[in-house]
Amino acid sequence: SLAQNAGPNAIGLMLTGMGNDGAAGMGELKQTGAPILVQDELTSVVWGMPGEVAKRGFADEVLPLGKIAARLIELASRK
């Protein structure tokens, strides 16, 4: 898994989508110290997947879609 292979060097990102798949994987990444970003409800077509990550307390940041790319670049440049 990404959590096992990259651990804190990874960045978790959950974008709009239906369901809750991916939340467990984000939890595994969170346990390694990787930052977890999710798209906010306002800019999501369906907030199911990012909402589940946020609801479980895994999200470090909840951002509008328009701010995610810049934040990813910022985080990646620190690694």
- Please give the model's pTM, rounded to 2 decimal places: 0.94
d(CA 60, CA 65): 15
pLDDT digits (tens, 9 = 90+) for 50-73: 999 999 999 999 999 999 999 999
Which pLDDT band, with edges at 50, 70 and 90, does 79 fall under? low
pLDDT of residue 78: 86
CATH topology of domain 2-78: Rossmann fold (3.40.50)
pLDDT of residue 42: 98
Sign of CA dihedral 44, 75, 59, 24: positive
Q: What residue segments make up the domains of the chain, in order of their start? A: 2-78
